[in-house]
A and B are shown apart, each in its own frame.
Chain A
């Protein structure tokens, strides 16, 4: 079945540090890949997505590239801010749409000033 594995946290960084959160997946066919973010006290919201190989999703300074050869979708940001502190979830959905989102377990990021 489909699955997502992401690096376990928590991750603590200083402001302006470089961020990488690793995500790899197992899926049949050609899934769509997502990063969702959950800020403290708020609901899940889509951060970025990519629907085919080599696509790069980007938003709010975050980027992730769909790498079919390594089955990865790592999240990166060049300079994190305190306001980026949140839990980040990598997820996939089957391209056919016959399955709901499959999530990784989430990575808690804390950015300190």
Chain B
């Protein structure tokens, strides 16, 4: 079956512009996660959604970052007024449910470059 898909695969934007990154999780997966992978920082958690519960936004680095998940499926991560330090690969993952032993399935990522 289809895996997690993300779009665009690459995004170059000018400093100060807003960007939207999209994630389409595996059908039937109720938990969806966003991570950021940057050189020297490894993988850091940003936000997750579980079903209809309020998202856990504790990893968002600033109020310029926000995310929503519509209809319990597709999610959009929005970065407003982008800065050069936002350049990274943004990864989306989904799992069947939010539980400790669940495998998370990752998408290919969106590489964001802020010039």
Q: A89-B43, A100-B33, A103-B42 are in contact. Are A46 and B109 (CB under 8 A)?
A: no
Question: Residues of B contacting A101 with CB < 8 Å?
Answer: 33, 35, 43, 45, 93, 104
Complex CA gap A56/B69 in Å reads: 36
Number of A-B residue pairs having CB atoms within 8 Å of each other in the complex: 60
Complex CA gap A14/B84 in Å reads: 38
Complex CA gap A97/B91 in Å reads: 20
The one of A43, A93, A95, A106 in contact with B109, judged by C-beta atoms closer than 8 angstroms, is: A43
A-contact 0/1 string along B11-46, CB 8 Å cutoff: 000000000000000000000010100000111110
- Total interface residues on B, CB under 8 Å, equals 25
B-contact 0/1 string along A21-48, CB 8 Å cutoff: 0000000000110101000001111100
CB–CB B101/A42 < 8 A: no
- When C-beta atoms are compared, the residue in chain B nearest to A46 turns out to be B103
Which of B43, B48, B98 has the most chain A CB atoms closer than 10 A to its own CB?
B43
Which residues of A are at the interface with B, using a C-beta cutoff of 8 A?
A: 31-32, 34, 36, 42-46, 49, 51, 89, 93-98, 100-106
Complex CA gap A100/B57 in Å reads: 11
CB–CB B91/A43 < 8 A: yes
Q: A43-B91, A101-B45, A106-B42 are in contact. Are A32 and B106 (CB under 8 A)?
A: no
Question: Residues of A contacting B54 with CB < 8 Å?
Answer: none
CB–CB A95/B101 < 8 A: yes
